[in-house]
Amino acid sequence: MNLKAARFVALFMLAMVLLTSSAYAKPVQKNRQYYEERGEIVWEVPTQDKLIALTFDDGPDPVQTPQILALLKQYDAKATFFVLGKWAEKYPDIVRQEQLQGHEIANHTYAHTYAVRSTAIGKYLKDMGAAEASIVNAGAQRPLLFRPPGGYYNDMVIQAAKQKGYTIILWSWHQDTRDWALPGVSAITKKVLNNARNGDIVLFHDKVDGRSQTIESLRKILPILKERGYEFVTVSELLAVKAREAAKEGVSSTSPRKHP
């Protein structure tokens, strides 16, 4: 075999190897670990300090939200409110009250818009923008955090959040109180207290159809966690603490917690 023929055979074999490898290559699994490692979604913020972030979705509500604000004030607790733009428009005074009391206001879309496969990014961006405008017009600072309704996310949502300069915040899997489903005060209370860990992001709702059980649950949860030494902070405060810890340790602040 001459040199030209040998080169041809070698190139052919290399091409076959590459084609075979690509045919059997596993697709990238876009799971929680994938998004956490890229810093695109936050579920919780493991920290050495006894800090917990309480979050409330779907408000503001003219009855439930003020009662929650009163309880938070009683226990010197700060929280993050993921508000809907349509309610921020209707109840701007409550949004201002949240802001004045030191809580964080975040974006939860204008009308609780779910991200489905058919949702165009332009439509989603418009909805996010309308919610942001409502929050700012109510007298709050421009939000930096975004929580997609229902926790539904995909690459479109992530791209939209990046374009708006938002960080996507979900919640600790072990701290989904499902208070919207009215499971009972005892169930909500046990869910939070039995699973409390440093850096948790707890999911509540400050607008629940029917008679909310969230307020009565908070009456039990807040004093007990405070007795255990926990401090209630906003999500952004939690992220800032973790970033400082990571800077000291020389590691990424987005390193995920390992799950069983």
Please name which of 204, 197, 203 lies closest in space to residue 257, comparing C-alpha atoms.
197
Catalytic residue among 108, 200, 205, 206: 205
DSSP string, 22-70: HHHPPPP--SHHHHHHTTSEES----SS-EEEEEEES---TTHHHHHHH
Q: How many CB atoms lie within 10 A of CB 194?
A: 8
Determine the 3-state secondary structure of 83 from DSSP: strand
What tokens appear for 96 in the block? 């201002």
Cα–Cα distance between 136 and 132 in angstroms, integer?
A: 6
What tokens appear for 11 in the block? 């190139």
What are the distances in angstroms from CA 201 to CA 122, 123, 144, 159, 177?
29, 29, 16, 23, 11
Catalytic residue among 57, 58, 61, 206: 57
Catalytic site residue 200? no
Catalytic site residue 57? yes
Cα–Cα distance between 3 and 135 in angstroms, integer?
A: 72
Give the catalytic positions in this structure.
Answer: 57, 205
